[in-house]
Structure 1
Amino acid sequence: MKRWGITIPFFDLTMAESRDLVAELPGLGYTDAWSAEVSGTDGFVPLALAAGWAPELRLGTAIIPVSTRGPGLLAMSAATLADVAPERFVLGIGASSPVIVERWNAGEFVKPYGRTRDTLRFLRRALAGEKVTEKYETFEVRGFKLERAPQVAPKIVLAALRPRMLRLAAEEADGAITNWLSPQDVRKVRAETGPETELIARLFVCVSEDVDRVRALGRRMLAAYLTVPVYAAFHDWLGRGEILRPMHEAWAAGDRQAALKAIPDEVVDDLVVHGDAATCRARIREYVANGLTTPVLAPIPDGEVSIPQAVRELAPEAS
C-alpha cells in the first residue's frame, strides 16, 4: 500500500479548528495522520480525536520521548490509543533531546540509545499483556501489568538518525522515523535499515513560489534544529559537516543572525520542499522513489497559501 501522511495538528490551526479538515483527509488520498510532541499539543490527544473524525486513517506518534514519561504511563497511553483505533495505531518513540527532556520536563537525558532500546523491549512485553518485572540497563520495572491490554498490540517504530539506532529499528522494532533529510539522503539511511523496514519521515513543505521568502523561513527552522547535537551529528554523518561548519561556529559564538546567513541556499533547498503544489508533490515522490515508505507532510505557512489549501493541493489525489 502506498502511503501519504500528514502532520496533525496543522500549523496555525488548533485541533478544535481542524476537525473538518481532518475528516477530509481520507477522501483526498491521505492514508496516515502523525502527531508530534515538543512544546505544543501532546502526542496522544490529537490522534484520539482524529480516530473518530477520520476512522479510515492510520494514526502514529512521531515521536513520544522515552524519558518524559515513566515506562508504565507510556504503556497505558499507547494501550488507550490502540483500543480507540485498533490495528490503526503506530507508537513512535525516540530519545528526543536534552532541551526537551531536561530543561522542559525535569528529566534526565542519559544513555539515549539504551533508554530507547529498553523502553522498546519493555513496551513489547507490556502491550502484549505480560506482567513485567525486569531490571534493564537504564531503568527497572517491578510487577507492572496493564489493567487492560489492547486486543492487538500496536506496532512500535523508533526515531533514528544514525546507523546504530537505525539498525535497532530494523532488528527489534517495526520501522524507523527520520527527519530533516533530502531525497538523496534517503538512500544512505535506507542502506542501514535494509529494504523491508518501514521508513517514515516528516517532510516540511511550503507551497510557495517566493523562493527568497521560503529560504528565509527555512533558515530559521534549520538553525533551530541543526544546532541540536543529535541533528548536527546526523548531518555530519550525511556529509554536510563542512558546509554547515560556519553556521555552527556563528551559533556557538552567540551570533544568531550570522548563523542564519551561513546556511547555504542549497542546504535549504535540499531539506525544505517548496515551489508550487505540483513541484512539491513531485519532490515528495523523489523521496519515495529513493526508498521512503511513508512521507509525512508538514505544510508550513508563509502567508501566500493557507494551510487548508496547502493540505488539499498537496494530496496525492490532487495530481
Structure 2
Amino acid sequence: MSTDLKLGLNLGYWQRNADDATEIVQTAERLGYGSVWTAEAYGSDAFTPLAWYGARTSRIKLGTSVAQISARTPAATAMTAMTLDHLTGGRLLLGIGASGPQVVEGWYGRPFPKPLARTREYVEIMRKIWRREEPVTGDGEHYPLPYPGGAGIGKPLKLITHPLRAEIPLYLGAEGPRNVALAGEIADGWLPLFVFPEKIEQMYGPSLAGTGPDFDIAAMVMTLITDDVRAGLDGVKMMLTLYIGGMGAKSRNFHADIIGRMGYAEAAEEIQALYLAGRRDEAFNAIPDDLADGISLVGPVERIRERLELWRKSPVTSLLVMGPRDETSLRTVRDLVLG
C-alpha cells in the first residue's frame, strides 16, 4: 500500500502549433513536480516535445506515455532514448506500449498478433543495445538480428555512442492482466490509463504479486478542480465516451475491456454500440457517474483531498495528473498530493 505519492504531469498529445506547454512544464518543475509525460497515437510523436521541454528545463524527468513499439524498431527506439537521455542529463523515463490492432495494422502497417512476445523481445534488444557488452544479436521471432534474408550480409553491431545510463528506466503501458504481469516481470514501472483505486488490487493483484518496492505504478488521472462537480464529471465522461466507444474495433477494444473488468461490462457494451451507431450523445449519457468519478479526481479542493486517500491506500505510487494547465491549479494539486 502506498502512502506517499509521487507527482507528475501528463500533457497527452501535442496537437497544434499553439500547443507549446513550455511555460506549464517550467512551472511544474519549479513547483516540485517530479515528471512530465507526453503521448503518441497517430498524430504527434512522443519524443520531440520532450526534447523541446527538456532543453528548457533542468530537473524534471521526461516520460513517454507511451511510445508505440510498432512505430519504430527496437534499435531505433533505443537510439532515440539514449540520445534524449544524454542530452537531458539522464532524465528520460521510457514508457512503451503495444497499442491496438487498428493503429498497429492500419497506421503502421505491422502485424499485431503476439503483442506480449513482441514486447518482451523489444525490451531485451533495447537493453542489450544500452549495455554495450557485445555486438547485438537476436534470435527471436519478431525482431531477429541480423535480419535473416535480404542481402545476406548483415552483421551484429554495437552502439557507437556510450549511453549516459546503461539502464534507462522502462515502463510498460498495459491494460490486460497478462500484460500487467509482463510489466511487473521485465519493467521498472507500469502506466495504467484507467485506475479505479478501490478495485486495482482485485483486478491486478495476482499480476503485481512479484513486484518489488521500487516498482512504480504511475497512474494517469484526470484531475479537475471545480466547484461544479457535475461539469467536472461530464469532462471525464467525454473522454470515456471516445475511449470506450471509438478507440478500438467492436470486436477488440482494450479500453472497453478494462471498463468491463471494473464491473461495468454491460455499460461498456452499450456505450460502444451507441457510439459506433453514431449516437454519441446517448453514448455519453450511458456512462455511469460513479465510473467517471471512480477513475478521476474531480471537485472542490476538500472533495479531492478526501478522494486522494483512496489513492494513498492503493498500490499506486505515482499520480500523473491530466488537466491542470495553469499555475494556480498546478500549485493546488501539488499541495494536495505532496502536502
TM-score normalised over the length of structure 2? 0.82
SS state at 1:134 partner: coil
Q: Indicate the residue corresponding to 1:315 in structure 2.
A: 334
Q: Is 1:56 aligned with 2:56? A: no
Asked if the contact 2:13–2:39 (Cα under 8 Å) also holds between the matched residues in 1, the reply is: no
2:182, 2:190 → 1: CA distance?
9
Please state how far the C-alpha of 1:52 moved relative to its aligned partner: 3.3
| SS of structure 1 residue aligned to 2:240 | helix
Letter in 2 for 1:275: G
The alpha-carbon deviation at position 41 of structure 1 amounts to: 3.3
> Does the 8 A contact of 2:180 with 2:208 survive in 1?
yes
Structure-to-structure mapping, 1:22-101, within 5 angstroms: 22-101=25-104
Shift in CA distance, 309/57, structure 1 to aligned 2, threshold 3 Å: same
CA–CA distance in 1 between the matches of 2:323 and 2:61?
Answer: 19
What is the SS of the residue equivalent to 1:127? Answer: helix
CA distance in 2 between partners of 1:277 and 1:297 (Å): 15
Q: Does 2:220 match 1:207? A: no
Deviations 1:17-75 (A, max 9, x none): 43233222233121111111124532112222333333221221111011111222111
Tell me how far apart the structure 1 counterparts of residues 307 and 103 of structure 2 sit (CA, whole Å): 31
Say if 2:160 is the partner of 1:147.
Answer: yes
CA distance in 1, matches of 2:291, 2:9: 23
1:217 to 235, 256, 276: 235
1:111 deviates by 2.0
Residue 136 (structure 2) aligns with: 132
* 1:274 to 2:287 alignment: no
AA in 2 matched with 1:219: K
Aligned pairs for 1:147-186 within 5 A: 147-153=160-166, 154-186=168-200
1: CA distance between counterparts of 2:19 and 2:86?
Answer: 22
In 2 relative to 1, CA 275–307 (structure 1 residues): closer, same or farther, beyond 3 Å?
A: same
Q: Deviations over 1:75-121 (max 9, x none)?
A: 11111122123442211111112333233333332322222121111
Measured in 2, the distance between the counterparts of 1:189 and 1:222 equals: 19
CA deviations on 1:101-143 (whole Å, 9 max, x unpaired) are 2333333323222221211111111121242221212222212
Of residues 229-238 and 276-285 in structure 1, the stretch that sits farther from structure 2 once superposed is 276-285
**For 2:93, what is the secondary structure of its paired residue?**
strand
AA aligned to 2:127 is: R
Match of 2:151 in 1: none
Residues 290-309 of structure 1 aligned to structure 2 (within 5 Å): 290-299=314-323, 307-309=326-328
Partner in structure 2 of residue 262 of structure 1: 286
Give me the whole-angstrom Cα distance separating, in 1, the residues matched to 2:259 and 2:138: 36
Q: What number of residue pairs does the alignment pair up?
A: 314
Instruction: Tell me: CA distance 1:93–1:189, structure 2 relative to 1, closer, same or farther (3 Å).
Output: farther
- 1:129-159 Cα deviation digits (max 9, x unpaired): 2422212122222124322141313011111
Instruction: Check 1:158–1:10 CA distance in 2 against 1; reply closer, same or farther (3 A cut).
Output: closer
Query: 1-side partners of 2:282 and 2:19: how far apart?
Result: 39
Amino acid at match of 1:204: M
Contact 2:223 2:298 (C-alpha < 8 Å) held by counterparts: yes
Secondary structure of the residue aligned to 1:74 is helix
Deviation at residue 211 of structure 1 after TM alignment: 2.9
Counterpart contact for 2:116–2:182, Cα < 8 Å: no
Aligned AA for 2:244? L
For residue 164 of structure 2, what is the amino acid of its counterpart? Q
> Matches of 1:110 and 1:104 in 2, distance apart?
15
Check conservation: 1:35, 1:43, Cα contact below 8 A. yes
1:303 counterpart residue number: none
Inter-CA distance 73–98: structure 2 relative to 1 (3 Å threshold): same
The AA in structure 1 aligned to 2:47 is F
Distance change in 2, residues 1:309/1:108 (3 Å): farther
Cα distance per residue 1:210-249 (max 9 Å; x no partner) = 2332333322210211233111222223322133332133
Shift of residue 289 of structure 1? 2.4
Secondary structure of the residue aligned to 1:60 is: strand
Equivalent residue, structure 2, for 1:117? 120
267-276 or 142-151: which moved more?
142-151
**TM-score (structure 1 length as normaliser):** 0.87
Tell me if structure 1 keeps the 8 A contact 2:15–2:43.
no
Decide whether the 8 Å contact of 2:5 with 2:312 is kept in 1: no
The one-letter code sitting in structure 2 at the alignment partner of 1:146 is: L
The offset of 1:294, in angstroms, is 1.0
What SS does the corresponding residue of 2:195 show, helix, strand or coil?
coil
Corresponding residue SS for 2:159: coil
- What secondary structure sits across from 2:254 in the alignment? helix
Identical counterparts, % of pairs: 27
SS class of match (1:150): coil
